[in-house]
């Protein structure tokens, strides 16, 4: 896959805090403007301290090897990120082989191929760390599901009414991607 013009995909850095926290904060503006926002938001926008705690957790996860976070940079600004975190922290748990994926591309950069590039880079790195990657996506977010299917993700669950926004219920779908053939499963009869 070729990279969209002028986009660099790279690991998260401490100086990305303001760009990424502003990008998340703008999701509340989009929602207030009546636009479709396909990420789960708090009822009240987070404080800067909340954003700092989230961001520091991402940096710490990279430092400890519990996660991968890549950033899309355009014109020296971080305009999106993709994180794959260990489902249960700690390399000695029975779920240490499972990663949980989250991705966000800021408005104005969606639909340009940046999400695909973030996903491609993050999944390439995840193959060194995880056997399986899961994600949860709003059932109505057809474009995102199409992208995930392009990368080999398969639907494995549907959860009705898991989200409630402005008095309306929304469903979520669970998808997974096997990055390796788990030991004991190759050729196993079901």
pLDDT at 171: 96
Q: Which residues pair with 154 in a beta bridge?
A: 176
The answer to whether 77 touches 18, Cβ cutoff 8 Å, is no
Give the C-alpha separation, 180 to 28, whole Å: 38
Token pair 């950069």 in the structure block, residue: 109
Compute the radius of gyration of the chain from its Cα atoms: 17
How many helices (DSSP H) and strands (DSSP E) are in the chain? 4, 7
CATH for 7-178?
3.40.630.30
- Say if CB 81 and CB 109 are below 8 A apart: no
- Token pair 């800067």 is found at 48
Task: Show me where the domains of the chain are located.
Answer: 7-178
What predicted TM-score, i.e. pTM, was given to this entire model? 0.88
Average pLDDT, integer, range 61-83 = 96
For the record, the structure tokens of 180 come out as 């390796």
| Residues 69-79: tens digit of each pLDDT | 999 999 999 99
pLDDT at 96 over 60: yes
pLDDT tier for residue 124 given thresholds of 50, 70 and 90: very high
pLDDT at 68 over 90: yes
Identify whether the C-beta of residue 101 lies closer than 8 Å to the C-beta of residue 86: no
Phi-psi region of 100 (alpha: psi -120 to 50; beta: other; left: phi over 0): beta
Query: How far is residue 16 from each of residues 20, 23, 52, 87, measured CA to CA in Å?
Result: 6, 11, 11, 24
Output 82 or 36, whichever has higher pLDDT. 82
pLDDT over threshold 80, residue 185: no
| pLDDT band for position 182 (cuts 50, 70, 90) | low
Could you tell me the pLDDT band of residue 184, with boundaries at 50, 70 and 90?
Answer: low
Backbone angles phi, psi at 140, to 5 degrees: -80, -10
Tell me the pLDDT band of 36, cut-offs 50, 70 and 90: confident
Q: Does residue 41 surpass a pLDDT of 70?
A: yes
């Amino acid at each position: 896959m070729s990279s969209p013009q002028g986009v660099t995909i790279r690991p998260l850095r401490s100086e990305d805090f303001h760009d990424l926290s502003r990008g998340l904060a703008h999701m509340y503006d989009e929602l207030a403007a009546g636009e479709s926002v396909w990420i789960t938001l708090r009822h009240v926008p987070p404080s800067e301290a909340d954003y700092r705690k989230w961001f520091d957790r991402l940096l710490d996860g990279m430092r400890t090897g519990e996660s991968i976070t890549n950033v899309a940079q355009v014109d020296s600004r971080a305009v999106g990120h993709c994180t794959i975190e260990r489902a249960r922290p700690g390399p000695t748990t029975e779920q240490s082989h499972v990663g949980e994926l989250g991705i966000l591309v800021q408005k104005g950069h969606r639909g340009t191929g940046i999400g695909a590039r973030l996903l491609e880079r993050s999944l390439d790195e995840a193959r060194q760390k995880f056997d399986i990657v899961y994600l949860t996506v709003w059932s109505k977010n057809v474009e995102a599901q199409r992208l995930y299917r392009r990368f080999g993700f398969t639907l494995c669950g549907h959860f009705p009414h898991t989200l409630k926004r402005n008095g309306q219920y929304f469903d979520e779908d669970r998808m997974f991607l096997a990055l390796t053939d788990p030991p004991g499963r190759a050729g196993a009869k079901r």
